[in-house]
Homo-oligomer: A and B are copies of this chain.
Amino acid sequence: MSVDRAKIQWNGWGWAAAKDELASREELWLWLADELGMPSLLATPARPLEEIALPAPRLSAAQRENFVSLLGADRVRDDKFERTFHALGRSYHDVLRLRAGNISAAPDAVLYPRGTEEVLSILSTAAENNIAVVPYGGGTSVVGGVSANGASFPAVVTVDLSGMDRLIDVDAVSGTATAEAGIYGPALEKALQAKGVTLGHFPQSFEFSTLGGWIAHRGAGQNSVLYGRADDWLVSARLATPRGLLATEEFPASAAGPRLTDVIAGSEGAFGIVTEATFRIHPAPAASHYGGYLFHDFASGAAAIRQAVQEDVSAAMLRLSDIEETRFYRAFGHVGKRRGISGKLEDAYLSARGFSGAMTAMIAGFEGSKEIVDYGRKRFAAIAKRHGGMSVGAGPGERWREGRFHGPYLREPMMNRAVGVDTLETAVRWSKVDALYAAVKTALKNAILGTAPRPGAHGIVMCHISHAYEDGASLYFTCIFPRALDGEIAQWQAIKKAASDAIATNGGTISHHHGVGEDHLPWMTNEKGALGIDVLRAIKMSLDPKGIMNPGKLIPL
């Protein structure tokens, strides 16, 4: 298969061989303890795999043999590493449990099909035997989307699509391509860019997530302003279901009833498994520019983004950190390092321009032909200026770009030091951005205070606008908090609930690009309405009458 699972961390993010570069930066940890109101940060290492016990596999010998006869012995795995690796996704909630060895459920086998026909055979065998099926792409879900949740079934198998990683076709005339769903981000972009084209879908999980996963959870890449979300760029999907193959429409547009492709985007494996997809591609950009801007506050930066998208300025990305996030990341980069003369000059310059204290940082990215990049930059610069923004050149943009997939790697070092990190996101119309922003920040801060391990301890709650639309924006919240080591799951649940309730009461969606999984299920009925949930359930039952597909995710039962 394309990516050897043994090379990826089974209980955290990224390559198993990746070094913890922060471990030795002692000044950093002292500073962070101070930021969190803690006297010091305890070492809290993860338990090694050897110490962890899994529930015994539940597949009968005959059932296991069925799958072996379908796929061959080497593509039916039930060793401890495979079962543990696939037990959960990679959310904070998941990683807490993985690191503690608190794994109550794991797949009874992990299956590695090659091709749609094999997936269909797996699903019909599973349906006959009432075995639950968990589809698995890169396993990077941060919402409990791939938990091996099969408690109400005799057994559960995880279907790992990583053996289905071919680029099948590029239709350059129509600007579309077709690939198998298990292809990872880097392999897909490499194959496409070899033909001079790009999908342009770069989520932060890009290194470890797959085409099928992006579609199944309705994801958005960092450059979605230009290239669109998964539900925008998806042209057609092949969905293997327990009732057979559903191949959706392939038209550029149609008035022939609701578009089934739209029903598959966001279906999270609950209707079936996306095995192949056709998607829009674009010429690989001849030029690009990612530049930094500073604004005096969040509202003026947000207003600049709003004006730019509503006037259809051809940006690829417009990302605005709030005051806390801007301050935190500047400090985080500087702690324990000598700033030197250039740093002092920089501070003096910013101060002279009125940016001495609180400020918000924006990255504005442009891609395409040189002409389009230049024109977009020029138009955006004028808009930024109108809202009090100051360009700080290409440096911050290039640094952001180099580290664009690096964020999740910061979580483990913190978790090794008794610090929790979680992120959540929503989208809301522009007229509700201010109220939602304030409410969610307050809810997060209060929930962290309420669950802090000692008096005086508190969290850091940051936010950025991550994606923008004509009618609204995505707000992405990051919180860093001292872990309540004697009740970590309850702490996470309290924080999650506070934020989610604040999102729901302020008109936001429970997820902008992470998906629903298990974690957001309690907010789905409020979001879709009881009748809306009935509609989703009816769709599921029409394709998966026994309800074996990814149970416990997406749809409240």
Contact = CB atoms under 8 A, between A and B. Distances in A.
A502 to B, nearest CB: 15
Copies of the chain in the assembly:
2
A454 interface: no
A474 B253 contact: yes
Contact of A431 (B173, B258, B554): B173
A531 B543 contact: yes
Given A174-B431, A431-B171, A260 B532 contact: yes
A513 interface: yes
Most buried by B among A235, A262, A432, A467: A262
Interface stretch (A92-100, A401-409, A533-541): A533-541
B251 A513 contact: no
Interface residues of A, number: 91
A507 interface: yes
A173 B430 contact: yes
A471 B174 contact: yes
A514 B257 CA distance: 10
B515 A472 contact: no
Which of A175, A432, A467 has the largest number of chain B CB atoms within 10 A?
A: A175
A15 interface: no
Contacts of A257: 218, 266-268, 516, 524, 528, 536, 554-555
A255 to B, nearest CB: 4
A252 to B, nearest CB: 3
Nearest to A473: B252
A423 interface: no
Interface string A158-188: 0000000000000101111000000000000
A431 B249 CA distance: 16
A310 interface: yes
Contacts of A314: 312
Given A255-B515, A256-B516, 17 more contacts: A173-B431, A174-B472, A175-B470, A175-B471, A247-B529, A248-B532, A251-B512, A252-B474, A253-B513, A254-B510, A256-B527, A258-B266, A258-B536, A260-B528, A534-B543, A535-B539, A538-B541
